[in-house]
Amino acid sequence: MNGMTAVVEAEGLTKFYGQRRGLEDLDLAIQPGEVFGYLGPNGSGKTTTIRLLLDVIRPTRGRATVLGLDPGDAKVRARIGYLPGELALAGRERAGQYLRFLADARGGVAQARIDELAERLEADLSVPMGKLSKGNKQKVGLIQAFMHRPEFLILDEPTSGLDPLVQQEFLAMVREVRADGRTVLMSSHVLAEVEHVSDRVGIVRSGRLVAVEEVAALREKAVRRVELHFDAPVPPEAFEGLPGVRDLRAAGASVTCTIDGRPDALIKAAARFTVVHLVSAEPDLEEIFLTYYSGEEDQHARVGSAKPA
Ligand SMILES: Nc1ncnc2c1ncn2[C@@H]1O[C@H](COP(=O)(O)OP(=O)(O)OP(=O)(O)O)[C@@H](O)[C@H]1O
């Protein structure tokens, strides 16, 4: 890895809550500049992983480093931005005052930076903390996580409670972090919320990391529907037997099919005729993902599953 220190390195990282499995045997490395989407249904172990990386809880066994250091090292925390899954914001103090306080505590983040983020996310900072709506609370949480431009952002369900336009702005903020060479770990239970910004996604189920995939590779594997319309009828034979092309239907001046992987062969076959219109649906990655999600629901897994409770 060119001697680069991984931002997260976990080996056999395991947490049991009594007999209950929170996370078992996590092996994972996240590299600098990477956006890693951490996906799993409720109760799968996402928050447990994040709490271990932040040293809020200690592993039952195994180890992890964050920015090359022990998660308990006091130097780590200042270099991280963290959005908790459930923000405990209360009291009469205004959101803006709270952020100002945190900004000063983090070495004097400029007010203009807070204001810029608030504007982008359409956050109302004049509201007392105890009266913030769910969406506004989430925005305040995001502002405090991003404002000091930390090297590593850990975001637990960052998009929950955000309306679609604000979600887009949030994703733009994540892309800027990556463009700076900084690193993001974000959890979600919906692939669609992370696939457009993540370089890789990991899927956890019942406390185990069951897959890690590059999003680009998933996209190549995904099946998608394509329609081609020509200026005159085309011979169906011209499209038969192309690699990755299935369910081909040629009717008059139109061809529809599904492609499995790269569209290259289809495009080259079509280019021999005059294409007047092309429709290609976005690959449905969710479908691929659901195969990982499905299966036996052993959410209440216990140590040595044969043992009585
Ligand atoms: N403090 C705790 N005490 C006992 N069990 C816990 C505790 N925290 C989590 N668990 C259990 O550990 C497992 C993993 O939970 P975790 O909160 O990490 O999942 P999650 O993927 O973050 O889910 P969610 O999306 O609901 O937050 C679950 O079975 C959960 O019930």
Residues 21-46 pLDDT 10s: 999 999 999 999 999 999 988 899 99
User: pLDDT category, 295, cuts 50, 70, 90?
Assistant: low
Summarised one tens digit per residue, pLDDT across range 59-76 is 999 999 999 999 999 899
| Identity of the amino acid at 168 | Q
pLDDT higher than threshold 50 for residue 1 = no
Instruction: Assess whether the C-beta atom of 44 lies below 6 angstroms from ligand 1.
Output: yes
Q: How far apart are CA 228 and CA 277, in angstroms?
A: 6
Give the mean pLDDT of 220-231: 86
Query: Does a structural domain hold residue 288?
Result: no
The pLDDT value recorded for residue 238 is 92
Share of the chain above pLDDT 90, in %: 64
* Ligand 1 contacts CB of residue 202 (under 6 A): no
pLDDT of residue 293: 62
Instruction: Over range 94-114, report the average pLDDT.
Output: 91
pLDDT score, position 29: 97
Assess whether the C-beta atom of 47 lies below 6 angstroms from ligand 1. yes
Partners of residue 155 on adjacent β-strands: 83, 186
- The model's pTM: 0.81
Please report, to the nearest 10 degrees, the dihedral formed by the alpha carbons of residues 74, 80, 85, 91 taken in order: 70
Residues 134 and 202 in one domain: yes
Please determine, for residue 292, whether its predicted confidence score (pLDDT) is greater than 70: no
Same domain for 99 and 158? yes
Q: pLDDT of 232-284, one tens digit each?
A: 999 999 998 998 898 899 989 999 998 877 889 999 999 999 999 999 877 66
Share of the chain above pLDDT 70, in %: 90
Return the pLDDT at 291.
67
**Residue 140 burial by CB count (10 A; 0-12/13-18/19+): exposed, middle or buried?**
buried
* 135 and 267 share one domain: no
Distance 166 CA to ligand 1 centre (A): 28
Report yes or no on 290 lying in a domain: no
Residue nearest to atom 10 of ligand 1 (CA): 22
One-letter identity of residue 213: E
Q: Best mutation site among 19, 24, 44, 52 for ligand 1, i.e. most ligand atoms within 8 A of its Cβ?
A: 44
d(CA 32, CA 183): 6
Residue 304 has pLDDT above 50, yes or no: no
Q: pLDDT averaged over the chain?
A: 88
CA-derived radius of gyration, the chain: 23
| Sign of the C-alpha dihedral computed for residues 107, 172, 220 and 266 taken in this order | negative
The answer to whether residue 298 is domain-embedded is no
CATH for 52: 3.40.50.300
For residue 180, give Cα distances in angstroms to 9, 32, 149, 177, 218: 21, 10, 9, 5, 25
* 189 and 251 fall within a common domain: no
- How close is the Cα of 236 to the center of ligand 1, in Å? 54
Mutate to test the pocket of ligand 1, among 13, 17, 83 (most ligand atoms within 8 A of CB): 17
What pLDDT band is residue 3 in, cutting at 50, 70 and 90?
low
Q: Which atom of ligand 1 is nearest to the CA of 45?
A: 18
Using one digit for the tens of pLDDT, what is the confidence trace for 147-192? Answer: 999 999 999 999 988 999 999 999 999 999 999 999 999 999 888 8
Quick one: 251 and 119 in the same domain? no
Cα gap 244→262, rounded to integer Å: 7
Residue 297's pLDDT band, with cuts at 50, 70 and 90, is very low
| Tokens of residue 136, six digits | 């506004």
Q: Same domain, yes or no, for 178 and 277?
A: no
* 34 and 153 co-located in one domain: yes
User: In this structure, are 114 and 128 located in the same domain?
Assistant: yes
**pLDDT score for 301:** 35
Q: Are residues 104 and 183 in the same domain?
A: yes
Helix pair 134-146, 164-179: axis angle to 10 deg? 10
> pLDDT at position 87, please?
80
Residues 53 and 189 in one domain: yes
Give residue 308's pLDDT: 36
